[in-house]
Structure 1
Amino acid sequence: MSERFQRNAEVLQRRWATLFTRLLAEDSESVHAEPMQGKDSTLSIDGIQLTSRHDRSAEARLQAASLPPASPTVHVYGTGLGDLQRVLLERTDLTRLCMYILNGALFKLILSQFDQIDWLSDPRVELSYAADDQEIRLPFFALPSELELADELNAKIRDRLVSEVHLNFNNREFNPQSPQILKRLKDSLQLLRSDRDVTELFSSQVGREIYVIGTGPSLEQQFEKLKAIRAQTPRPLFISVDTAYRPLMDQGIKPDVVVSIDQRITALHLPPEQSDKIPLVYMPLSNPKVLRAWKGWRYASYSASPIYRKMREKNDRGQLYVGGSVIHPALDLAVKMGATHITLFGADFAFPMNKTHASWKDGDLGPGVNLARHWVLDGRGQRVKTQLNFRRYLSELERYIAQHPQVSFFNSSRDGAMIAGTRFNPEFCQ
């Protein structure tokens, strides 16, 4: 250990002995760091520059300015080189600065090369691994470089941070004043008024096991078992998301309920020919042409989105939870129907087997595998490719699951993303 590390370590051992023991076990030699020199010095980690090399202080002050100036408590994810901490600790009204490590090996390396004693010694500073919390804390600043460099241990919190940072950007296409949104709502109004209310389905399956079926690649592994179970009596209820409907029907598996919320869904995804006696649960952004062609009962619903506020005031319908993906309202419907035992299928939030979706060609339902630049951990603890919005959907699903402890949630595959709060259903995976 370097002399600089020993000096930093004395403070860590005195203030956070348990954390220091964990830190000693980190493999800092696995971090590929190169020094970068400009007006200031910094590190480049696998091509990602940790901080500015031209004016680290100015960068830190810009970052600090994004945080509420009078907040007594501030949360910072990623330790950087200590620059942001030093700027924040200049605030006389700051009583707690909660620092969260996003990459333990990187932090250990920094301690061996940069003096961090000043901020580590400040009594207002609290230090922990980000993964020690199950949820992010507000107000926060997350260092952009360390969001990219977060390790496996802290990946779940990283995903929630990224989701929160991108929230306004992600919601941009759901502007209540958008001409496209307003036209779609107007076109759907007559259907909404004449169709059934989703609340008619609530509490209709109390105590029944329910399968919620998404379109992740792992669904293909379960087709044969699902077909066999579908023929049994009694059996679980099958709720399918819209993009899983055609793959299921092609395999001779008729879902009991289909859920659709996306305005881009067409008859290609929901062909109406065999839809008689299959209830379709939808929201007013759904394509009216697709809705009118559907032969089964239609059940209208809302989400909590502001785009439905005026429509909700005049046309009361039940509400389902939406967190960016159709899997969310499908799962919420299962819970509100009364299930206490739910198994997820094709809820991968990733590209296992180097595929994007079950039974669809690469790129049919979104960006292709070759464009994947992000990762999550699968059910075996290994990295698997994904895209940024899938990580956000996963985080929102995990939050939903955490809010419903009365329900047992299961996953049918280890190939997709590990879903916190679920167990693996031994009937489908070991």
Structure 2
Amino acid sequence: MTDIFQANLAIIQSRWPSAAAILLQQDIDQLDAVLVTGANQTISVNGIQLSSRHNRMAETQLFLSTLPAQAKSATLYGFGMGDVPFVALDEGRLTQLKICILNPAIFALVLSYVDHTPWLNHPGVMLELQPSQKALYQPYMVIAADLELAADENARLRDLLMYQLNKDYANSKHSSDAPEIRQRFAENQSFMQQDPDVSQLKQKFTCETAIVIAAGPSLEQQYDKLAAISQCIERPLIIAVDTALKGLLHHKIKPDIVVSIDGAISEYHIPVQQSHDICLAYLPRLKPAIIRQWIGERFNALGSSAFYDELAQIYPDKTRLYTNGSVIHPAVALAVELGATEITLCGADFCYVDNKSHAFWQDFAAASNDKDTKTWANNVQKTAKNTGHWLINGAGQKVPTTLNLRAYLLNLESYIARHDGIKFYQSSRAGAKIHGAPFREL
């Protein structure tokens, strides 16, 4: 424990005793940390520099430039080398600054080598070593290095920050003004007019309990139980996403409803020729061929996002199901629309379980003679091993994932949080731990 750390800690103990207690528990000797020197000095942890080594002042001004021009109060997620609080408070750019630490061990390391007493004594500073994992304070800045080095207990907050930082870019790829989207909507106009709204499914199904089946790899662990449940006279409503259907039918499980929304879905993903006695709930981005060839009854809806606002003016009576990136969202929303007050999630993994992306698909690919199919399966395994992103599963283990899967998980958790009158459960610990959906066996 250095003299500099003692001086920093004395102020923290005085102002934020709970934060000081956390810092005293950190073992900085376990960090792979080295001093890096360029035009400026910084510290590298696990090969990631906490700040620029070329021009730390310019980097700090770049972070501050992301705030609204008139902002006098802000939140800093991460800490880097601590340049932001020094500059922002010393220059009077901010009068109040909340600092949310993403990795206490790295914070303790920096406090051991840099005198931070000037800003620690500033009356406008607030320090959180156990920041909220549910919502972001506004406005805020994010230190990029700290996102990469976030502690496990802050994985959800890291994911929330990554989602917000990438949201505008991700949404730019899904504009309703895109010519191909407008063409697809036009191609499906007759289906939207002729097929009934999903609310009409209430005349076929009344349910208090529902099983919503996604296509995550953990679904493979549930096939036997689902097959047994599907044969019961008194059973929950079974709603499946489109990409889960192939594996379900192979294992003699016929869902009541299949939900499909993605314009890229083809007959390879969804076996329409086996859709007897299965209802299709679709959104108007689906390929017309899939809708046309569906053998069972068809129902449609619109999504809740702004993407569907223009169509909502054309079809004002259409139900708007929650949509936020994944087909699991409208599938869950449909269960709620049909009256379910207890929903069990199967295959809702949001990660690569056993280096797989989907239940059944890779086993199907392994048995296939199609070269493209085998190539796809091999690429999935490579992606799973090299994605660089992870989340915590229901067993408390790190599992590889991707940015978009983490976003889908956060959006589902947000939906669950807004429906506190409905009980949600997840049926496997192998996939992501879903906040608001405790584990329960099928």
Normalised by the length of structure 2, the TM-score is 0.93
4+ long deviations beyond 4 Å: 90-93, 202-207, 364-367
Question: Could you report, residue by residue, the CA deviation over 1:332-369 in whole angstroms, capped at 9, with x for unpaired residues?
Answer: 11112111111110011111222111111284598542
Cα deviation for residue 203 of structure 1 reads: 9.1
Query: Contact between 2:22 and 2:129, CA under 8 Å: does it hold in 1?
Result: no
Cα deviation for residue 396 of structure 1 reads: 0.8
Counterpart selection for 2:427 from 408, 412, 417 = 412
Correspondences of 1:5-404 after superposition (within 5 Å) = 5-90=5-90, 92=92, 94-129=94-129, 131-201=131-201, 208-316=208-316, 317-361=318-362, 363=376, 367=380, 368-404=383-419
Cα distance in 2 for partners of 1:228, 1:133 equals 38
- CA 218–56 in structure 1, closer or farther in 2 if over 3 Å, else same: same
Normalised by the length of structure 1, the TM-score is 0.95
2:52 aligned partner, one-letter code? S
- Structure 1, unpaired ranges of 5+: none
Cα deviation for residue 299 of structure 1 reads: 1.4
SS of 1:186's equivalent in the other structure is: helix
Instruction: Decide which moves more: 403-412 or 64-73.
Output: 64-73
Cα distance in 1 for partners of 2:202, 2:19 equals 47
- Structure 2, unpaired ranges of 5+: 366-375
Cα deviation for residue 56 of structure 1 reads: 0.5
Query: Contact between 2:34 and 2:43, CA under 8 Å: does it hold in 1?
Result: yes
Question: Could you report, residue by residue, the CA deviation over 1:365-418 in whole angstroms, capped at 9, with x for unpaired residues?
Answer: 985423422100111111111111111111111111111111111111111111
Question: Could you report, residue by residue, the CA deviation over 1:119-151 in whole angstroms, capped at 9, with x for unpaired residues?
Answer: 221111111135434211221111111111111
Query: Contact between 1:103 and 1:149, CA under 8 Å: does it hold in 2?
Result: yes
Query: Contact between 1:131 and 1:156, CA under 8 Å: does it hold in 2?
Result: no
Cα distance in 2 for partners of 1:303, 1:130 equals 36
Cα deviation for residue 24 of structure 1 reads: 1.3
Query: Contact between 2:64 and 2:88, CA under 8 Å: does it hold in 1?
Result: yes
Cα distance in 1 for partners of 2:39, 2:345 equals 53
1:157 aligned partner, one-letter code? L
Identity between Structure 1 and Structure 2 (%):
40
Query: Contact between 1:70 and 1:94, CA under 8 Å: does it hold in 2?
Result: no
Cα distance in 2 for partners of 1:333, 1:190 equals 23
Cα distance in 2 for partners of 1:46, 1:371 equals 17
Root-mean-square deviation (CA, aligned residues, Å) is 1.8
2:399 aligned partner, one-letter code? V
